[in-house]
A and B are shown apart, each in its own frame.
Chain A
Amino acid sequence: MSKFLLKNVSLLGDAATDVLIEGEHIIAVGGDAAAQGASAEIIDCTGLIAVPGLVDLHTHLREPGFEASETVLTGTRSAAAGGFTAVHAMANTSPVADTAGVVEQVWSLGLAAGFADVVPVGAVTVGLEGKQLAELAAMADSRAQVRVFSDDGKCVSDPLLMRRALEYVKAFDGVVAQHSQEPRLTEGAQMNEGVVSAELGLAGWPAVAEESIIARDVLLAEHVGSRLHVCHLSTAGSVEIVRWAKARGINVTAEVTPHHLLLTDELARSYDAVYKVNPPLRTQADVLALREALIDGTIDIIATDHAPHPDESKDCEWNAAAFGMLGLEVAASVAYDVLIGSGASNWQRFAEVLSYNPAQIGRLSQQGQPIEVGSTANLALIDPTKRRDAVSIESKSSNNPYVGLTVGGEVVHTIYRGYPTKLNGKVAAEGRSLGNSKNLARTASKAGK
């Protein structure tokens, strides 16, 4: 069995110690680790911060169907580069992940790639069409054990269907992750509706189209006593609604993307479609509200909404371009800048928003665990001193909106189930071999806050 000794590593910013990994698990921490680690391969982690392996609740891996943009392999390599050890693969593939067959296919592609746990998200409705519930229980019972359901890219806008979905997933402790976008209010929408859209003559995507759906959904979740997850919340008003819902005791969680924490609609002035995303980049006031909400706990997680597109879908006039941007390889750095570099928060919060909480929402038992003896060895090791160009190398696509920006917090090593998928800044040539990977049970996670 492989054995790695992480030397001089700081766990979530604490004093340096050692961590010994054998096989898939952490078997010793501190003095014991060095004592038992004589035969281990040493990974020098001097100056590095260890956080539990990052978990993305919102990734578009594009396979099956859109392999020109990304595959499970390239997408999970990109994840490994960014410190992720688990990604939730969104359902808007072709065919749509709305049956047990498709989610099992995606799940097994992830297993074969071996760079991260690939956790399929099931579609809420057949074909993402918002008309008829997909076979949610079949997906939940499949080998992929789907717990997160989403029509992401489209909103489950029919209130009755949304109510039924929220109720139905209670049977297997599932959660509906809603892409909150009132369709009639956003017909033809191209960017945030505001001062900039008025000037640019691009059709507006008003904040109220997001906020009105979130308001409706939290009330529905309260009424049926179910769990709601709000995808990529993007406005200050959405933050207020989620804050209110949580204060009322409603079981709602919310995510924010790295790009909504950093970029604003001013970037659309270039008409460069790399900045075209859904929901759109908002204003600086929204960015500040989202950051505050991430720090105070109103927003539970950062999720990337990593959305690869081929060049031809972006290298064109704005209206014709696809929505979406890359995020896996930059998310940790944006989180570092917002939480740590800014001095506003700490590594504990970093671990919560990028690992503990998303694993808890997705009910992943072997992700988002504290770094302690017995935990599965999923770790990201981050150099907090280094500033770097915000590049995205491993993804098959290049729609990276951070090009030209410098960000903090470089992921130096990623350990996925005891296997270094990234070592000394380089992603491994091969993924972890299949071996003993069958045990991906996702019963209720004991890990957490």
Chain B
Amino acid sequence: MSTLKHLLSAADLSRDAAINLLDIAETMSGVNDREIKKLPTLRGKTVVNLFFEDSTRTRISFELAAKRLSADVINFSAKGSSVSKGESLKDTAQTLEAMGADGVVIRHSASGAAYTLAHSGWINGAIVNAGDGTHEHPTQALLDAFTIRRRLHGGAASGKALDGVKVAIVGDVLHSRVARSNLLLLNTLGAEVHLVAPPTLLPADASGWNAQIHYDLDAMLHTVKPDAVMMLRVQLERMNAAYFPSEREYARVWGFNAERLSLLGEKALLMHPGPMNRGLEISAAAADSPNSTVLEQVANGVSVRMAVLFNLLSGERSIDNV
């Protein structure tokens, strides 16, 4: 049943493939609730976490996912490795290939690095994009979709898409790989996507994007009444590049605070990919509210990444044997 060779972009997933992955993740989630949280599925397989960029959260999530499937895991981080001495992506990839990596989870600061790795011929293993520059982060989109589906449908989530679900993505869309992957996957699953951001933090030409664009967060909350709001992390260095005038102004106009929380439906999700800048894009009251799904997203991330690794690396074995 493994049809994917790599997971590079949320656009790699058809509707059926996406639902299938989310369903596998449901099963994996059951494993994560067991006392012994481990499956033998990937025993003897080697997964390399190739992180050219610091991201402890994403790395340990993938590491846990691979370990729960009994794979051998190697963490290869740019810091203290040959990469920091100027070794190229090509040489690193070929080194991993020579060591027999079955799967490579790559995080890189350059957009397209995962695509380049997968299409270069440098390496034969399955490539999972764990975030490439300002391009994509497909497993984040999957875990977000999983989280929304679960909140909406509870135990009856399996097999369902997100048709008609209204999702607002708020913040630094321009530089966000989370936003790009979510936009693609949410469209695939039938959701209605709204982007809210200061005009400086939207692409100059977003006409290719299937989403409605808003500059006014309050007006969007009033008129759209979204089922889920995703707050994006704001990098503070953006302020110095004149994307917005000050932290205070950003928080006031585009941050999610207690007042805006009151505009949110009782069942609506307030999401954040983490790590949060409390007081900037999200206030403590909002982050700790019942609407917040921040910790569920973290937990679901492990299940979704188990599903992805299982799908890419398990060969002919079927989920039914788990």
Contact = CB atoms under 8 A, between A and B. Distances in A.
A271 B112 contact: yes
Q: How large is the interface on A (under 10, 10 to 19, 20 to 34, 35 or more residues)?
A: 20 to 34
A198 B135 contact: no
A336 to B, nearest CB: 32
A193 B134 CA distance: 14
A199 B208 contact: yes
Given A316-B90, A317-B110, A319-B111, A195 B205 contact: yes
Contacts of A196: 208
B203 A197 contact: yes
B243 interface: no
B110 A193 contact: no
A201 B90 contact: no
Contacts of A316: 88-90, 116
A204 interface: yes
Interface string A174-203: 000000000000000010011111111111
Q: Which of B109, B119, B136, B203 has the most CB of A within 10 A?
A: B203
B116 A271 contact: yes
A315 B88 CA distance: 9
Contact of A199 (B88, B110, B120, B180): B180
Contacts, number: 73
A319 B133 contact: yes
A242 B133 CA distance: 37
Nearest to B180: A201
A312 B134 contact: no
B88 A201 contact: no
Contacts of A318: 110-112, 116
Nearest to A198: B203
Contact of A194 (B88, B116, B135, B205): B205
A201 B134 contact: yes
A198 B133 contact: no
B113 interface: yes
A317 B204 contact: no
B136 A194 contact: no
A320 interface: yes
A418 interface: no
B84 to A, nearest CB: 14
Q: Which of B109, B111, B208 has the most CB of A within 10 A?
A: B111
A206 interface: yes
A271 B132 CA distance: 12
Contact of A193 (B108, B133, B205): B205
Interface residues of B, number: 27
Interface string A312-337: 10011111100000000000000000
Contact of B204 (A200, A206, A312, A320): A206
Contact of B209 (A193, A197, A198, A271): A198
B112 A200 contact: yes
B247 to A, nearest CB: 22
A317 B205 contact: no
Contacts of A199: 180, 208-209
Interface string B131-155: 0111110000000000000000000
B236 interface: no
B110 A320 contact: yes
Nearest to A203: B134
A320 B109 CA distance: 10
Contact of B207 (A190, A195, A270, A319): A195
A198 B115 contact: no
A271 B120 CA distance: 10
A392 to B, nearest CB: 21
Contacts of A194: 204-205
B177 interface: yes
B138 to A, nearest CB: 13
Nearest to B202: A198
Interface in A304-360: 312, 315-320
Nearest to A208: B204
Interface in A269-322: 270-271, 312, 315-320
Contacts of B209: 198-199
Q: Which of A195, A198, A204, A270 has the most CB of B within 10 A?
A: A198
B90 A200 contact: no
Contact of A200 (B111, B120, B206): B111
Contact of A315 (B90, B110, B135, B204): B90
Contact of B115 (A203, A271, A312, A319): A271
Contacts of B203: 197-198, 204
A312 B88 CA distance: 9
Contact of B208 (A193, A195, A317): A195
A235 to B, nearest CB: 14
Given A193-B205, A199-B180, A201-B177, A317 B136 contact: no
A200 B89 CA distance: 19
Contacts of A315: 88, 90, 120
B51 to A, nearest CB: 14
14 contacts: A190-B111, A193-B204, A198-B204, A200-B111, A200-B112, A202-B111, A271-B115, A312-B88, A316-B88, A317-B108, A317-B110, A319-B110, A319-B111, A319-B133
Shortest 9 CB-CB contacts between residues of A and residues of B: A201-B135, A271-B112, A198-B203, A319-B110, A201-B134, A317-B110, A195-B208, A201-B111, A317-B113
Given A195-B207, A271-B119, 18 more contacts: A197-B203, A199-B209, A200-B111, A201-B133, A201-B134, A202-B111, A202-B135, A204-B204, A206-B204, A270-B119, A316-B89, A316-B90, A317-B89, A317-B110, A317-B113, A318-B116, A319-B109, A319-B110
